[in-house]
Chains A and B, each alone.
Chain A
Amino acid sequence: QVQLVQSGAEVKKPGASVKVSCKASGYTFTSYYIHWVRQAPGQGLEWMGIIDPSGGSTTYVQKFQGRVTMTSDTSTSTVYMELSSLRSADTAVYYCSSTKDPNQSFDIWGQGTMVTVSS
């Protein structure tokens, strides 16, 4: 079945970078877009951006531009989200989600990756 499996929890110091992976299975990897959504503790959902794994084109929310990089590796059906210059406000659960169309609702989600930024 269609599945997204994310990498494990991370603890980082302020100023460092984190790279979270999202491995897809059960469908043609290059036929679906991957979105990244984060959720700070006790807070709501926040969309970070989208990547087209087939060509690598990306769209980032302006808030994260300059700090976020989304990439894809078609050989392993894996998408990566790297966030740099981490601060405590980046402490959150990061989710990936796949959609067949960029403007389609998120019906497939990864299990989430907790990223903690603490000195």
Chain B
Amino acid sequence: SYDLTQPPSVSVSPGQTASITCSGDKLGYKYACWYQQKPGQSPVLVIYQDTKRPSGIPERFSGSNSGNTATLTISGTQAMDEADYYCQAWDSSTVVFGGGTKLTVL
């Protein structure tokens, strides 16, 4: 089975840049996307097709994907960005999620 690996936690100071990685075999050859999930809420798509932002997602969210690693970058991180983040990709039409990363803004 295909696995996506994320760090369990990332910490960032307000106003700084947060980077969350997602690793998988030849992930750069697949499309990756990212979801934000706050406690008690459904996930929200923040990046799709590696780099694209859905309507309504702030410009401070950006993504990249190359080699074996996809990265979600949040520039000028705000307190409201504190949440769990999940990467997701497809492997032979099967949906695979990363284990999730808890982003703490402190």
Contacts and interface: CB of A to CB of B under 8 A. Distances in A.
Contact of A44 (B31, B48, B86, B93): B86
A33 to B, nearest CB: 11
A110 B97 CA distance: 18
A11 B41 CA distance: 20
A35 B95 contact: yes
Given A44-B100, A61-B94, A109 B88 contact: no
B43 interface: yes
A103 interface: yes
Q: How large is the interface on B (under 10, 10 to 19, 20 to 34, 35 or more residues)?
A: 20 to 34
Nearest to A109: B42
Given A105-B33, A105-B48, A47 B42 contact: no
Interface in B71-102: 86, 88, 90, 93-100
Nearest to B42: A109
A contacts with B: majority SS: loop
A47 B97 contact: yes
Contacts of A37: 95, 97
A106 interface: yes
Contacts, number: 48
A45 B93 contact: no
B54 A107 contact: yes
Contacts of B44: 109
Interface in A22-66: 35, 37, 44-47, 50, 59, 61
B100 A59 contact: no
A80 interface: no
Contacts of A107: 45, 48, 54
Contacts of B49: 105
Interface of B: 31, 33, 35, 37, 42-45, 48-49, 54, 86, 88, 90, 93-100
Interface of A: 35, 37, 44-47, 50, 59, 61, 95, 102-107, 109-112
26 contacts: A44-B86, A44-B98, A44-B100, A45-B35, A45-B43, A45-B86, A45-B88, A45-B100, A46-B97, A47-B94, A47-B95, A50-B95, A59-B93, A95-B43, A103-B31, A105-B33, A105-B45, A105-B48, A106-B45, A106-B88, A107-B45, A107-B48, A107-B54, A109-B43, A110-B42, A112-B42
